[in-house]
Amino acid sequence: MQNTFSTIARYTYSSEAEIIKGRLEAEGIKVFLKDNITIDTDPLVSNAIGGIKLNVLAEDEAKAKDILKSISSYALDDNGNTIICSNCGSGNVSLYSTINSFKSFFHFIIGILFGTLPFSARYEYKCEDCNTVVDVKD
Ligand SMILES: [Zn+2]
């Protein structure tokens, strides 16, 4: 039997990739991260080399994608309720790392340098349908 790999997701930071890896492995899927060591050594190269690739065996691809979808298709608040978009009422709200582009990474660095960035602002919930950032009270 020939084992071929499928890349089912890419992540900017290995911490994100490790969380997803753990979730998939809990479902019995073998996960192979690629370039995570390189990116841990120098996170700035992440975008240049296409991020950390999350690879699974081709035979697990469909199952792994389903699990990924179930993780990212909706976000829950601390009480386990679906987070609803305050703008359009959609439940299609996902947790985003706000450091997902060079521009926001730049702002993040500025925030650290000048102490203007609270660490709680590193993640936000965003509506997939209308792109509204949803304010979650905690
Ligand atoms: Zn919305």
Average pLDDT over residues 7-23: 85
**CA 126 to ligand 1 center in whole angstroms:** 8
**CA 73 to ligand 1 center in whole angstroms:** 14
Place 120 in a pLDDT band, splitting at 50, 70 and 90. Answer: very low
- Does residue 100 or residue 75 have the better pLDDT? 75
Q: Is the predicted pLDDT of residue 55 greater than 90, yes or no?
A: yes
Angle at 112 between CA 106 and CA 114, to 5 degrees: 100
Q: Give the whole-angstrom CA distance, residue 22 versus residue 17.
A: 9
Q: Is the predicted pLDDT of residue 75 greater than 90, yes or no?
A: no
- Does residue 56 or residue 109 have the better pLDDT? 56
Strand partners, 97: 123
**CA 100 to ligand 1 center in whole angstroms:** 20
**CA 136 to ligand 1 center in whole angstroms:** 14
**CA 20 to ligand 1 center in whole angstroms:** 25
Q: What is the pLDDT of residues 89-107, one digit of tens each?
A: 888 887 765 555 666 666 6
Which residue is listed with tokens 């979650």?
A: 136
Share of the chain above pLDDT 90, in %: 22
Which residue is listed with tokens 């703008």?
A: 87
**CA 63 to ligand 1 center in whole angstroms:** 29
Which residue is listed with tokens 């582009």?
A: 101
Q: Are 107 and 136 in contact (CB under 8 A)?
A: no
**CA 39 to ligand 1 center in whole angstroms:** 33
